[in-house]
Homo-oligomer: A and B are copies of this chain.
Amino acid sequence: MRREEPLAIVAGSGALPALLAQAAQETGHPVVIVDLDGEADAGFGRCEVHTLRYGEVGRFLKLLEARDCRTLVMAGGITRPSIAAIRPDWGAVKLMPRVARILMGGDDSLLRGVANLLDEHGLRLVSPLDVAPHLAAPGGLIAGPEPSARLLADIDVGRRTALALGDTDAGQAVIVDAGRAIALEGLEGTDAMIARAGALRTDGRWRSPPRSGVLVKAAKPSQDMRLDVPTIGPDTVLAAHAAGLAGIAVQAGRVLLVERDRLEGLAAERGVFVWGVS
């Protein structure tokens, strides 16, 4: 990004949009926040915030044009709107045939379709990792205690499993204990998968000493980092701790750490390691 060039942040929930806003401002970019239907949390300081409803595509394009903003980043969680909640404006109606075709595909093709659509309007979608590269997980120990050799072996099994899964467009995370996959992420998401592993331990189907098992999270080999960056944060540490896991391993450079200070504090306090796999 050219210095002084404005950046639009399409903001969902969580701390990441505000972290990106801060990073962009610190490197000299004016920031326009587009809050999707009230999904965004507070914390944008003095940034300009516009709340748009799902479907207000025309308004969105006009807003960016008025700010001479040609670069945007999408970040944060969104509750997928039901079709009924979408109120298409004229700008959206014009795009309907395209959007309908995009919606027919899976998650990945949907996201790629959106990126192509933006491209046709002269807008460039960048990755949160482009805006704030310092948020990417480093290799080695990130927080908490040093993992044992046994846990490093589990991390390696998890890395290979996540890789095998990634090639088939499945989830990005797996929980491994003593070389065995305890839980694999599908559509339910990482948090629900961690909770499932915790329940398997509680009901005795996963028998293991406390503080065993590692969560391994990676990007798909083909993942488009502009559209969907795997992320962990303090909540992931709390969830891992609640499920009795020993720690969390993430793919270095391709998984984003949000609220690193809080993450480090919690990891140390709860004795849960966070490790970057290079």
- Which of these, B105, B174, B205, contacts A170 with CB under 8 Å? B174
Cα A80 to Cα B205 in complex, Å, equals 8
* Contact of A200 with B181 in the complex, beta carbons under 8 Å: no
* Contact of A171 with B167 in the complex, beta carbons under 8 Å: no
Chain B residues within 8 Å of A271, by CB: none
- Which of these, B108, B160, B174, B179, contacts A106 with CB under 8 Å? B179
* Contact of A188 with B196 in the complex, beta carbons under 8 Å: yes
- Which of these, B171, B179, B200, contacts A184 with CB under 8 Å? B171
Of the candidates A107, A167, A175, A187, the one having the most CB atoms from chain B within 10 angstroms of its own CB is A187
* Interface membership of A231, Cβ < 8 A: no
* Interface membership of A161, Cβ < 8 A: yes
Chain B residues within 8 Å of A182, by CB: 186-187
Of the candidates A157, A165, A168, A170, the one having the most CB atoms from chain B within 10 angstroms of its own CB is A168
* Contact of B175 with A186 in the complex, beta carbons under 8 Å: yes
* Contact of A165 with B181 in the complex, beta carbons under 8 Å: yes
Cα A165 to Cα B179 in complex, Å, equals 13
Binary interface encoding of chain A residues 183-218 relative to chain B, with 1 for a CB under 8 A from any of its CBs, else 0: 111111000000011001000111100000000000
Cα A137 to Cα B157 in complex, Å, equals 31
Cα A206 to Cα B80 in complex, Å, equals 11
This protein's copies in its complex: 2
* Interface membership of A82, Cβ < 8 A: yes
- Which of these, B107, B157, B171, contacts A168 with CB under 8 Å? B157
* Contact of A188 with B168 in the complex, beta carbons under 8 Å: no
How many whole Å from A174's CB to the nearest CB in chain B?
7
Write the chain B residue with the least CB distance to A189.
Answer: B205
With A106-B180, A107-B180 known as contacts, the answer to whether A167 contacts B164 (CB < 8 A) is yes
* Contact of A168 with B175 in the complex, beta carbons under 8 Å: no
Chain B residues within 8 Å of A204, by CB: 80, 82
* Interface membership of A169, Cβ < 8 A: yes
Cα A188 to Cα B164 in complex, Å, equals 20
Q: Could you pull out 28 A-B pairs where Cβ atoms are within 8 angstroms? A: A80-B207, A82-B204, A105-B178, A106-B180, A107-B180, A108-B180, A157-B168, A161-B165, A161-B168, A164-B164, A164-B167, A164-B168, A165-B165, A165-B181, A165-B184, A168-B181, A169-B180, A169-B181, A170-B184, A171-B184, A175-B186, A181-B187, A182-B186, A186-B200, A187-B197, A188-B196, A188-B200, A188-B205
Residues of A within 8 A of B (CB): 80, 82, 105-108, 157, 160-161, 164-165, 167-171, 174-175, 178-188, 196-197, 200, 204-207
